[in-house]
Structure 1
Amino acid sequence: MKLALLSDIHSNRQALDACMEHARAQGAQRFAWLGDLVGYGADPGYVVQQAMALVADGHCVIGGNHDALAVHPPQPGDKAASSVAAHGAGWTHEHLTPHERAFLAARPLVAEVGGVLLVHASADAPERWRYVDNEAVAEQCLDAATQRPGIRHVFCGHVHQQTLYYRGTGRGLMRFAPQPGVAIPVAPRRQWVATIGSVGQPRDGDPRAMYALLDTEAWLLRFERVPYDHAAAAAAIRATGAMPDYFAQRLEVGR
């Protein structure tokens, strides 16, 4: 099975369409979205509608912190109201239908597909939204995941960068920076954690969208980068008249 993994779409219609088209051209048979469907971008309804169609067809969509914020945006005076993640949450909430918000609210925080664990943040405490951005947190994430029967591998989003952590001959995890489009052997006997990057808000200085493709028969993993019309996505954000301009600037510079 070829499993396409997408995360942190952030209401970016242009990036989502480009990644889904690319994944299908690569022979993807199943799709898993790892949360943060909305937030930051201009097309939350479109993205949620695509997710609803995927779930209806038997694919997997889990939830992220921005999805939770869109369902219950912080109110003035709330501690979270001043966070970057909260900016635009109210606008996103208003531009989703009650049915779309209910769909987001119903998303699980963890799922298992094809023998791997999927989680937006860290598997040891998914609801705390911890970033798997170093070897220590990756090890805690992996240790929690592998307590589940049959699970040896974890895919995460949230970080907006593409990284593979694997358990070598020692006790700790080792960090590996993948090259886009280059298949990596990921033997099922070895334990590893991968952060698959962001479809709609890359933050490594490269504006191309990110996703990953796992072949569970050959056990090969490819981290992909996909060009898309990020200028159109940035223009759509500015056209809302409600989002901070730096949300658009992020798409233009990939940071």
Structure 2
Amino acid sequence: MDIAVLSDIHGNYVALKQCLEYAVSHNINTFFFLGDYAGELAYPERTMQLLYDLSKEHQCYFIKGNKEEYWLKYRADGERGWKDKNSASGALLYTYNSLTDRDLEFFEQLQPVQEIVIDKMPAIIICHGSPNNVSEKLLPNDMRTIDIMNSVNASIILCGHTHIQQKIAHKERCILNPGSVGIPFFSEGKTQFLILHGKDGIWSEEFISLRYDVDRVINDMHEVKLYEHAPYWSLITEYILQKGHISHGKILSRVMELCKEETGDCVWPDIPEKYWAQAVEENYIDKQIKLF
């Protein structure tokens, strides 16, 4: 049997549709989704509808990512703290305001980790970050990663969160990361996922990278005015979609450093836009990308 494993869609319904069409055309009927369904990109309702429609026709397993925790915590805290026209939180606020009660209820019932056994094949653990924490990154050459692999009974851990396709093997166990459907790093503008092949009691992996209409995604961002809601965050997003050689996290870390160096303190999301501008310039992000 074959299973499509998809993670970190981040609202990229264009890329998601491409991945799903590829999987279905290869007679795949089982799908694992590893969290972070919405965020950063335009029309999150289109992503959610694709997922709802797919789950009516195919066997789908969904788990919670850190983004889902963001939406739920923001609702629980009384929808306070995030700001529009703010590079740190504007995209979060845009996405949250686009989500429906149905979406939030769907996120509410998701578990952060599942152990799955299908057709008497070896057990698989699916999670977003790690089996212990949705925001933890399982990285190669890291003793924490090895410790986690040793702590589980399943031979395979499927995780996302890093947005990088990779396999980490240790003894008879491995971690497989399908990369990101929506905003993959180091993908040369391609969308990414994973097909898990099961035969004769053995799982084997096939990493998939596909070309898709990146320009449409960027046009959508302009159409809904994401560059006004989250100016530099959206600029970085566009650069990642086209180039893939930087990350929001790297830029954000530098932004916080610059803010602390000059002001002595920096509290997210109250970060002046000038520090975003400086960090973007330092990282040689294309000047021809226009914010507005």
Return the TM-score normalized by structure 1. Answer: 0.80
Q: SS in structure 1 opposite 2:28?
A: coil
- Cα 1:159/1:29, change in 2 over 3 Å: same
**CA 1:96–1:167: 2 relative to 1, 3 Å:** same
CA distance in 1, matches of 2:24, 2:199: 17
Letter of the 2:221 counterpart: I
Tell me the distance in 1 between the aligned counterparts of 2:52 and 2:196.
22
CA distance in 2, matches of 1:64, 1:116: 17
Match of 2:281 in 1: none
For the Cα contact (< 8 Å) 1:234–1:252, is it kept in 2? Answer: no
Which amino acid letter does the alignment assign opposite residue 115 of structure 2? Answer: E
1:236 and 2:220 correspond:
yes
| 1:59 alignment partner, SS class | strand
Task: Spell out, residue by residue over 1:126-153, the C-alpha distance to the aligned partner (whole angstroms, 9 max, x if none).
Answer: 24x111122323213322332xxxx211
Q: Is 1:247–2:229 an aligned residue pair?
A: no
Where in structure 2 are the equivalents of 1:1-255 lying within 5 Å? 1-56=1-56, 57-73=58-74, 75-76=80-81, 86-113=89-116, 114=118, 115-123=123-131, 125-127=132-134, 129-136=135-142, 137-146=144-153, 151-168=154-171, 190-217=172-199, 219-241=203-225, 242-243=229-230, 244-255=234-245
Percent of aligned pairs with the same residue?
Answer: 23
Distance 1:26 1:9, change over 3 A: same
Shift of 1:83: 8.9
Tell me, yes or no, if the aligned pair for 2:82 and 2:90 is still in contact at 8 Å: no
- Structure 1: distance between partners of 2:24 and 2:151: 32
**Partners of 2:38 and 2:82 in 1: CA distance:** 23
TM-score (norm 2): 0.71
Shift of 1:43: 2.3
Residue identity opposite 1:230 in structure 2:
V
Task: For structure 1, list consecutive stretches of 5 or more residues without a partner in the other structure.
Answer: 169-189
SS at match of 1:118: strand
1:154 positional shift: 0.4
The amino acid across from 1:63 in the alignment is K
Amino acid at match of 1:120: H
TM-aligned CA deviation for residue 248 of structure 1: 2.2
Q: 1:27 to 1:138 in 2, by over 3 A?
A: farther
- Aligned residue in 2 for 1:177: none
Please give the per-residue CA displacement for 1:98-145, whole angstroms capped at 9, x wherever unaligned: 11111112211112233211000011x224x11112232321332233
Change (3 A) 1:246 1:141: same
Q: Which residue of structure 2 lines up, in the alignment, with residue 187 of structure 1?
A: none
Q: How many residues align?
A: 224
Residue identity opposite 1:144 in structure 2: S
In structure 2, what is the Cα distance between the partners aligned to 1:238 and 1:250? Answer: 16
**Aligned amino acid, residue 178 of structure 2:** I
For the Cα contact (< 8 Å) 1:15–1:200, is it kept in 2? yes
Which stretches in structure 2 are left out of the alignment for 5+ residues? 246-292
When residues 144 and 83 of structure 1 are mapped into structure 2, their CA distance, relative to the original with a 3 A threshold, is farther
Cα pair distance change 1:107/1:77, threshold 3 Å: closer
Give 1:196 shift: 1.2
